[in-house]
């Protein structure tokens, strides 16, 4: 386990832990976090190009709300969403797992049904969810929790149905090129028509290719903003028409301005950006 110095936001100090070794399943990133307060905590979560599993481990369940007024309590799965989320609760302790859409299809057994949605983990995994959560809560360390979660995801991935290799290729090209791709060109590279790629990608990833590429580009822009790069420079670097275009895209995905995104806590709990400026990657 790797531990960071405690991170702060406006409401709490957070202890953060991440695995000390690469996982067995590519496309999975995990982090554990615990609030050092018994006070009520309300956090904003910026959209991210992954399917997110939040396992609530505290004495009180975590409540997650989206911008459309939907709400889930306890452990939830959040699909690729075009809007931000809020997490609320007391004594928050949670395991966050982010799944590449390439493997989420097999691990979770759903794809387009999760687009823009939150679903209870119990509804997706049934008894397996209850067993896994019991094991996680009984574990004595974050290392043990990471191992338990990894074993569960590997097991379900092996039993699940993989997505089309063409769809996986297109997604990886989007990520590699930070969203700066043309769908028609990618369709030609995999030997599909644009219509077929659009249909299969939407069914297996959960967003159409154009929207998925926009989400990947937004994520890169959000990280650059959080790293202290000006909105004008971010717009120019990433391929937005102008700063107004960046502003509209950020508002569409996050529901807040680029300035707010730049200081948002929990932009990502990974090696790209942390909750406090000292953990951010360098521009």
Question: Which of 228, 280, 272, 274 shows the shortest CA–CA distance to 14?
Answer: 274
- Looking at the structure, tell me whether residues 150 and 102 fall in a common domain: yes
Spatial separation of the C-alpha atoms in residues 193 and 61, rounded to whole Å: 46
**Count: domains in the chain:** 2
> Domain with 107 in it: what CATH number?
2.60.120.10
Give yes or no: residues 190 and 150 share one domain: no
Residues spanned by the domain of 14: 2-159
Where is the domain boundary, 105, 140, 159?
159
Same domain, 153 and 80: yes
Helix axes of 101-108 and 142-159: crossing angle, nearest 10 degrees: 80
pLDDT digits (tens, 9 = 90+) for 137-196: 999 899 999 999 999 999 999 998 899 999 999 999 999 999 999 999 999 999 999 999
Same structural domain, 150 and 272: no
Tell me the three state secondary structure of residue 153. Answer: helix
Residue 146 and residue 181 share a domain: no
Instruction: Return the pLDDT at 266.
Output: 56
pLDDT score of 85: 76
Answer yes or no: do 181 and 147 share one domain: no
- The pTM for the full model equals 0.85
CATH number of the domain to which 180 belongs: 1.10.10.60
Any alpha helices (H) in 109-208, and if so which ranges?
121-125, 127-138, 142-159, 165-176, 183-190, 194-205
For residues 98 and 169, state if they share a domain. Answer: no
Same domain, 78 and 173: no
Q: Which residues touch 123 (CB under 8 Å, ≥6 apart)?
A: none
What are the two backbone dihedrals, phi and then psi, of residue 208, each rounded to the nearest 5 degrees? -75, 160
pLDDT of residue 265: 59
66 plus 205 within the same structural domain: no
Block means of pLDDT (10 residues each) for the chain, 283 residues, are 51 77 88 80 80 89 79 87 75 89 86 72 91 95 95 93 94 93 95 96 92 92 88 94 94 88 62 36 27
Of the residues 159, 192, 223, the one at which a domain ends = 159
119 and 195 assigned to the same domain: no
- Please check whether residue 107 is in contact with residue 280, taking contact to mean a CB–CB distance below 8 angstroms: no
Domain boundary residue, one of 115, 144, 159: 159
The reply to whether 77 and 198 lie within a common domain is no
Give yes or no: residues 9 and 134 share one domain. Answer: yes
């Amino acid at each position: 386990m790797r531990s960071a110095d405690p991170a702060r936001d406006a409401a709490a100090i957070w202890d953060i832990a991440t695995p000390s070794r690469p996982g067995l399943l590519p496309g999975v990133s995990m982090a554990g976090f615990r609030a050092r307060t018994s006070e009520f905590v309300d956090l904003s979560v910026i959209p991210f190009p992954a399917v997110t599993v939040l396992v609530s481990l505290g004495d009180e369940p975590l409540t997650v709300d989206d911008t459309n007024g939907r709400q889930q309590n306890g452990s939830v799965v959040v699909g690729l969403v075009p809007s931000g989320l809020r997490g609320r609760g007391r004594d928050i302790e949670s395991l966050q797992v982010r799944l590449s859409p390439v493997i989420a299809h097999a691990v979770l057994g759903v794809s387009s049904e999760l687009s823009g949605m939150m679903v209870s983990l119990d509804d997706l995994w049934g008894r397996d969810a209850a067993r896994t959560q019991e094991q996680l809560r009984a574990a004595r360390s974050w290392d043990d929790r990471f191992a338990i979660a990894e074993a569960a995801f590997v097991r379900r991935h092996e039993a699940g149905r993989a997505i089309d290799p063409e769809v996986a290729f297109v997604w990886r090209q989007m990520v590699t090129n930070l969203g700066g791709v043309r769908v028609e060109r990618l369709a030609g590279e995999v030997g599909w028509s644009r219509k077929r790629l659009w249909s299969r990608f939407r069914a297996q990833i959960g967003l159409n290719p154009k929207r998925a590429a926009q989400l990947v580009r937004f994520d890169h822009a959000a990280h650059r903003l959080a790293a202290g790069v000006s909105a004008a420079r971010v717009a120019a670097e990433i391929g937005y028409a102008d700063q107004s275009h960046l502003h509209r895209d950020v508002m569409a995905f996050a529901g807040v301005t680029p300035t707010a995104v730049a200081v948002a806590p929990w932009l990502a709990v990974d090696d790209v950006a942390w909750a406090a400026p000292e953990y951010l990657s360098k521009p």
